Amino acid sequence: MVFPRCTLILFLPVLLMAQTDFHVNHCVLRCKDNHMREMDNEWSHDFTLPLLNLLKTTGNETAAYIKAHAICTSNRLLEACVRNCNTSQEASIILAGIRSWHDACNNLEEVRAQFPCWKENGERLSSVCRDQTIRLEMDMLKFAKNQTQENIETICIDFEHFSHCFIQEHGKYCGYRSEVITARMFENNREAMFKMLKIRWNTLPTSCKYTQLRRDTYSSDRYNENSGVSVAISIGFLLLPFVL
């Protein structure tokens, strides 16, 4: 099976639906196909955060913000479209994937404030976690060919390493707020990924058990702290990596 090297949370719903043995929900497929055609040029060519990839492809913070806003709008249209379809596993899988974007889309201005640093350090942020990225990509290739519990477990383990690396490096280069925002993105994606897997499999490997982040690691109250305190705290920030 050949697929674009897109962000995992975008690819996983498509893969799960393609491998399903239940009756196809044509309404959901129509919604999904329309969305994918619209977003064709926005898919990442690396397993990086989609917003980081937008900065790389546009080379412009304003253009990246406009495209991010367009993606959020398209996601809302996709969600509305799917919710008008009959209830099905395909619909549940797609909706779980869309929910991973809710936080970033609802707080896009907060995310936008990180664009200057992300743009300046884009190559470092992409290359420093290259080993973890390659391992995760290989895991997905294996999973596309054989959806076994063993391959699912490997994805969950390597996804944790992948997300931890990205979160840590965002904090290192761009400070505490960037680390928290990145952690929230990964946390939301991780939760969505596990929910999607649970839709297909009643029992998941222990490495795929979802653990909620401590509330104080991503509470909106932290965003109001002054930068001096943020820099001091950033050194001690560690998270249970998320997800997708």
pLDDT digits (tens, 9 = 90+) for 67-108: 888 888 988 999 999 999 988 888 888 888 888 788 888 999
Residue 243 lies in a domain: no
Measured distance CA(179)–CA(199) in Å, rounded:
30
Residue 202 lies in a domain: yes
Residue 31 lies in a domain: yes
pLDDT band at 110 (very low <50, low <70, confident <90, very high): very high
pLDDT digits (tens, 9 = 90+) for 193-242: 788 778 778 888 888 875 544 333 433 333 333 322 222 222 122 222 22
Residue 241 lies in a domain: no
Q: Phi and psi (nearest 5°) for 225?
A: -75, 150
Measured distance CA(35)–CA(192) in Å, rounded:
19
Query: Do the beta carbons of residue 150 and residue 188 sit within 8 Å?
Result: no
Query: Do the beta carbons of residue 189 and residue 97 sit within 8 Å?
Result: no
Residue type, 140: M
Residue 54 structure tokens: 């937008």
Helices (H), the chain: 8-18, 26-38, 50-58, 61-83, 89-99, 102-106, 108-112, 115-120, 122-127, 130-145, 149-174, 176-200, 227-234
Q: How many domains does the chain have?
A: 1
pLDDT digits (tens, 9 = 90+) for 8-50: 444 455 455 545 544 567 888 888 887 777 665 454 444 445 6
Residue 3 lies in a domain: no
Measured distance CA(15)–CA(8) in Å, rounded:
10
Residue 239 lies in a domain: no
Residue 20 structure tokens: 């399903």
